A and B are shown apart, each in its own frame.
Chain A
Amino acid sequence: MENEAGALSRVAGLFSARGYNIESLTVAPTEDPSMSRMTLVTRGSEEIIEQITKQLNKLIDVIKLQDLTEGTHIEREMLLIKVRAMNSGREEVMRLTDIFRGSIIDVTEQSFTIEITGASEKLDAFIEALDKDLIIETVRSGVTGIARGEKSLRV
């Protein structure tokens, strides 16, 4: 999309006005600073997805749109999670973080902050694997995605 003030609210407004649901949305400028790339995750029947696609294309600020699920693609999401980690618990959390190929990026006497990137299901699984009582805070980036292979979204 055009990297314009208001472009994001046009997308968000479209979804709320037409009763579509946004599961997650990420957006940031691209290597060409006049453009932003947004990855939006939504759900619906084939007809609804078709309408969403057409309605988004109609927005003047949308330059190009691709339904990543039409081809093979890669989805990634990042999770930052702060957990209580004391005494023997620390070992356990470190081991789990290793298994999920995460990294501990901040440490205090009482806690770890862990970063994990991957498909959303992997992040879900990590959270599942932790003892609920240990979790202090979580934040997820929302999904970003890209097509596999040569296929690309370019203007």
Chain B
Amino acid sequence: MELTGAEILVRFLKDEGVRHVFGYPGGAVLHIYDALYKQDKVEHILVRHEQGATHAADGYARATGKPGVALVTSGPGATNAVTGIATAYMDSVPMVVITGQVPTNLIGNDAFQEVDSVGITRPCVKHNFLVKRVEDLAITLKRAFYIATTGRPGPVVVDVPKDVTAAKTNYVYPRKVEIRSYKPVTKGHIGQIKRAVKLMLSAERPMIYTGGGVVLGGGSKLLTEMTRLLGFPITNTLMGLGAYPGTDKQFLGMLGMHGTYEANMAMHHCDVLIAIGARFDDRVTGNIEKFCSKAKIIHVDIDPSSISKNVRVDIPIVGTVEQVLQDMLRILKEKKREPNKAALKSWWKQIEEWRRTECLKYEPSDEVIKPQYVLESLYKVTRGNAYVTSDVGQHQMWAAQFYKFSKPYRWINSGGLGTMGFGLPAAMGAQIAHPRSTVACVTGEGSIQMCIQELATCLQYGLPIKIITLNNRFLGMVRQWQEFFYEGRYAMSYMESLPDFVKLAESYGHVGMRIEDPADVTPALKEAMGMKKRLVFMDFVTDQTENVYPMIPAGAGLNEMILV
């Protein structure tokens, strides 16, 4: 059957199993919008800014493990989408972004609303395509989804000129796809895996360090099984939280710049480090020279370029977390060899000692709301079951420290790019993916203003997100650095002229609450969670001077934390 490019695109999305597309219309994509209008299989969510579309698609992907899809017009539509594309790229999130383009005969002419979308996005996508002929459209889209979701996931941009969406051709859904230059490895080298298991079993002070790769690769169950079997301590990166139950006694909390004392000390002193789906980011390693200097390192990662990039490793294993962990578990069970129990016992004794510093403890107050307290209450009120998105800043770190994530896909934040404005649209994506679950967006009064326009989208689609604003009247993370490293010169970090968030929420048709008394924190949270159908914007007026601890200052090693 002959279909127009626009119809093919929409039919393809349906055939690919895409249920939701986040987008914003414009001239170059009008044919596509017309095709969307004429069907009801693919639901289009109208955001209020293209950055919101890409973050929402990203949040949707992170909350489900399925690729998120965004649709934007050419020129400004595409440039507005770039922040969201780069955010997904840094955190390896599977996403397909369809950008409209001016008609092929006008490309390169400085035509109205023309930008070189393929050129602009090239450094922040896994791959991108410009579709020049309608005959190539379906197969290109198939390639885009295939590339986005396999290997190390990432965003793929498909740029579609307007005339291509008007031209007609036959459409058959391409079931299979082969790309000769792209063959991601899945199974790890068995010899290497055996060596790794041997090293693990010989360890006296082992440490498991896992990251976003375990969440992305659906390896959480296997990781939990293996960690329990071995009895080793485990830490997660900011991106890896939830892959291992946050309440488990083997879990030492997050590591890195704002990680726990026990996690960082255990990293520093371990003799065998087992890194799984983590990329040795500089926020994690601190000073590279001092990083795990006593350890032999095993590194499991799907992407060879993540291995030995920042830190030389001893046993590299390229493969998916799932496949490699399966092999490791099988070998461990076959061998029936036990880890070094005696050594492990004294290692745990040491770790318990570090734990006793209670590095996350804070001074409670009944006068002013402590931000940490809000998160502890949120955790209790939602029983640890919410999908929690966050923006970027101090509130993000407190959320990571105080909300004990016990399942993967529940913690959704921008780690690699650190994009303020991510939280609310990402929450929309998560809420659309999980309409009956509680979705909370932990944010700051600074960050929330970066994509505040999406409150309208939330009303239009009835998304009952709970916005938890830790309002410290400061760009708190910036203020903290200025306090520590710039002798308290608070240049431009005070948030003046804040809107009245209660009225603002109300004017968008939502419920607004201002909470100023610590005694009201839990009751207010309960009340908000009870409003199952309403978005509630909670403005918690919090302690302005609170800092995030522990903290590893730039250039320091993991054992050189500032504790209070």
What residues make up the interface of A, taking CB atoms closer than 8 Å to B?
A: 1-2, 5-6, 9-10, 13, 17, 47, 50-51, 54-55, 57-58, 60-64, 155
B181 within 8 A of A: yes
Whether A63 contacts B304 by the Cβ 8 Å rule is no
Closest to B181 in A: A63
B192 within 8 A of A: no
The 5 lowest CB-CB distance pairs between A and B, nearest first, are A54-B305, A63-B181, A60-B127, A54-B304, A60-B182
Q: From residue A120, how far is it (CB to closest CB) to chain B in Å? A: 29
Whether A58 contacts B305 by the Cβ 8 Å rule is yes
B36 proximity list for chain A (CB < 8 A): none
Q: List 16 A-B contacts (CB under 8 A).
A: A5-B130, A6-B118, A9-B122, A10-B122, A13-B123, A17-B123, A47-B308, A51-B309, A58-B303, A58-B304, A58-B305, A60-B126, A60-B182, A62-B181, A64-B181, A155-B180
B303 proximity list for chain A (CB < 8 A): 58
Whether B179 contacts A9 by the Cβ 8 Å rule is no
Q: How far is the CA of A63 from the CA of B178 in the complex (A)?
A: 13
Closest to B182 in A: A60
Q: How far is the CA of A17 from the CA of B89 in the complex (A)?
A: 15
B304 proximity list for chain A (CB < 8 A): 54, 57-58
Given contacts A13-B123, A58-B303, A60-B127, contact A50 B308 (CB under 8 A): yes
Q: How far is the CA of A50 from the CA of B304 in the complex (A)?
A: 10
Closest to A5 in B: B130
Closest to B312 in A: A47
Whether B181 contacts A1 by the Cβ 8 Å rule is yes
Q: From residue B128, how far is it (CB to closest CB) to chain A in Å? A: 8
Inter-chain pairs besides A2-B181, A9-B122, A60-B126, 19 sampled, C-beta below 8 Å: A1-B181, A6-B118, A6-B122, A9-B119, A13-B123, A17-B123, A51-B305, A54-B305, A57-B304, A57-B305, A58-B303, A60-B127, A60-B147, A60-B179, A61-B181, A62-B181, A63-B180, A63-B181, A64-B181
Interface string of B259-272 (1 = CB under 8 A from A): 00000000000000
Q: How far is the CA of A55 from the CA of B308 in the complex (A)?
A: 12
Interface string of B112-144 (1 = CB under 8 A from A): 000000110011001100100000000000000
Partner of B181 from the list A47, A50, A60 (CB cut-off 8 Å) is A60
Q: From residue A38, how far is it (CB to closest CB) to chain B in Å? A: 13
Q: How far is the CA of A70 from the CA of B363 in the complex (A)?
A: 61
A5 proximity list for chain B (CB < 8 A): 130
Bin the interface of chain B by size.
10 to 19
B127 proximity list for chain A (CB < 8 A): 60
Whether B181 contacts A13 by the Cβ 8 Å rule is no
Q: Which of B303-321 contact A (CB under 8 A)?
A: 303-305, 308-309
Q: From residue B123, how far is it (CB to closest CB) to chain A in Å? A: 5
B126 proximity list for chain A (CB < 8 A): 60
Q: Which of B246-280 contact A (CB under 8 A)?
A: none
B119 proximity list for chain A (CB < 8 A): 9
A62 proximity list for chain B (CB < 8 A): 181
Closest to B318 in A: A54
Q: From residue B299, how far is it (CB to closest CB) to chain A in Å? A: 13
A60 proximity list for chain B (CB < 8 A): 126-127, 147, 179, 181-182
A2 proximity list for chain B (CB < 8 A): 181
Q: How far is the CA of A1 from the CA of B182 in the complex (A)?
A: 11
Q: From residue A40, how far is it (CB to closest CB) to chain B in Å? A: 16
Closest to A58 in B: B305
Q: How far is the CA of A51 from the CA of B197 in the complex (A)?
A: 27
Q: How far is the CA of A2 from the CA of B309 in the complex (A)?
A: 27
Most chain-A Cβ atoms within 10 A of its Cβ — which of B130, B147, B304, B308?
B304
Q: How far is the CA of A54 from the CA of B122 in the complex (A)?
A: 18
Q: Which of B165-200 contact A (CB under 8 A)?
A: 179-182
Closest to B151 in A: A58
Given contacts A9-B122, A13-B122, A17-B123, contact A55 B181 (CB under 8 A): no
Q: From residue B164, how far is it (CB to closest CB) to chain A in Å? A: 15
Q: How far is the CA of A54 from the CA of B301 in the complex (A)?
A: 13
Q: How far is the CA of A62 from the CA of B181 in the complex (A)?
A: 6
Q: How far is the CA of A58 from the CA of B182 in the complex (A)?
A: 8
